[in-house]
Structure 1
């Protein structure tokens, strides 16, 4: 779905009500803005978390040594703690 929105001179824009409703933002909320070489991506916080989890899973699947605890232990070891 592509929708054109207008940006006011002070930088504000409005998302159409049906999009806000689908995203769970009907009563207000926050979006994260990601600038990419291809354009701008707007994501809800929940969508951003899911995106980050999917990226992490892609790079750590099947690698038990890729846990946060293992990473921190490695950093402590590297720093001589």
Structure 2
């Protein structure tokens, strides 16, 4: 009954290398990628439906807890 009170509100971010890390939510997409120049975040559900046509998250968009996001480098 009290298990939900202790649960952490985190989003999981996975890099193209397979390495992943978790971020406490709420957090903005721009905050997550600020240390990774040239990278963007994609929602896993968007990638599932649209593939390579998936649109990157806006830097001001908040990540949702219990969701998976992919961090990818944009081609130059």
TM bucket by the smaller chain?
Answer: under 0.3
Q: Based on CA coordinates, which of the two structures has the bigger radius of gyration?
A: 1
Structure number with the bigger relative contact order (C-alpha 8 A, sep ≥ 6) is 2
Q: TM-score, normalised by structure 2?
A: 0.26
Q: TM-score, normalised by structure 1?
A: 0.25
